Amino acid sequence: MATRYIYKRDASRLFIALSEQGKKFKIYLPQDAYPIINNEEKEITILEHKYDNFCFLWNGKKYFTHIKSKDQNKYRVIVNGVEFFFSIESISSYLRRRMLEESSDSKKTVSIQAPIPGKITNIFVAEGDLVNEGEPLFNLEAMKMQNEITSPITGIVKSIHVKVGDNVIKEQLILELSNINE
């Protein structure tokens, strides 16, 4: 059975909505599937929309939303008569800001090293890609065996330090991931 990963590679479809009270929603808007909110696919559909006002259907219930105001990335949204205030960031700007705020060598960045010496035969991701925990990152050939190295976290590929065909030694840095779940 093929593993099903919730995120597609396109990191530009991932947004962070931060509420006034500091509550955080990670929202992934796929091209042709249900939205993924805080790592869970929600069966929400849009029934109607007019400008920024939506009518969503979720669990058989309708939710009407109205954007009361927006100022750059800050939105006031009314749902069921209650006002919510969110600032929205794309994942890249979010990570960039977080890195400025904290030291870059914190546990928010995960380094992937070669577990054994060998040859890189395939790289499945590119810089900036969104990867799921358990999703394959690259193949490392050693002792004629293809070893699939998977991602230990859900995150964004920050940098790749090798290319296909490179020979690597044990514990050589292969790539770095930015954790989006912290």
Partner 1 sequence: MEAKKILIANRGEIALRIIRTIKKLGHVAVVFRSNRDKDAPYLEEADEIIDANESLQDKVIFLDADKIVELAKTHNIDMIHPGYGFLSENPDFARKCIEAGLIFIGPHPDHIYQMGIKTIAKEIAEKVGLPLVPGSKGVVKTIDEAKKIARKIGYPLLLKAAGGGGGRGMRVVENADQLERYFNAATLEALNAFGNGDLFIEKYIENPKHIEVQILGDQHGNVVHLWERECSLQRKHQKLLEEAPSPSLTDRKRSSLGKLAVKFAKALGYYSTGTIEFIMDEKKNLYFMEMNTRLQVEHPVTEEITGLDLVEWQIRIALGEKLPFKQKDIPLNGWAIECRINAEDPQNRFSPETGFIESIRFPYHPQLRIESGVTDGTYISTNFDSMLAKLIVHEKNRKKAIESMLKVLEETRITGIKTLVPFFKVVLSHPDFVKGTYTTHWIENVFQHEMLIRPEDEMIAALAASIAYAMEYLPIAGENIHIQQDNINFWVLNKRLR
Residue 71 near partner 1 by CB under 8 A = no
Q: Nearest approach, Cβ of 144 to partner 1 (angstroms)?
A: 42
The alpha-carbon radius of gyration of the chain (Å, integer) is 20
Helix (H, G, I), strand (E, B) or coil at 42: coil
Q: Nearest approach, Cβ of 151 to partner 1 (angstroms)?
A: 23
Which tokens belong to 4? 């099903």
Q: Which residue's structure tokens are 């070669």? A: 114
| 175 CB neighbour count, 10 Å cutoff | 22
Per CB under 8 A, the list member of 70, 96, 97, 170 interacting with partner 1 is: 70
Rounded distance, CA 33 to CA 79, Å?
A: 23
Taking a C-beta distance cutoff of 8 angstroms, is the pair 139, 115 a contact?
Answer: no
Residue 124 near partner 1 by CB under 8 A = no
φ and ψ at 24, to 5 degrees?
-115, 135
Residue 9 near partner 1 by CB under 8 A = no
Question: Rounded to a whole number, what is the distance in angstroms from the first to the last CA of the chain?
Answer: 29
Residue 102 near partner 1 by CB under 8 A = no
Residue 3 near partner 1 by CB under 8 A = no
Residue 23 near partner 1 by CB under 8 A = yes
Shorter beta-carbon distance to partner 1: residue 42 or 119: 42
Q: Which residue's structure tokens are 């796929």? A: 30
Residue 10 near partner 1 by CB under 8 A = yes
Residues that bind partner 1 (CB under 8 A): 10, 12-13, 15, 17, 19, 21, 23, 25, 27, 29-35, 37, 42, 44-46, 48-49, 51-52, 54, 56, 58, 63-67, 70, 73, 75, 77-84, 86, 88, 90
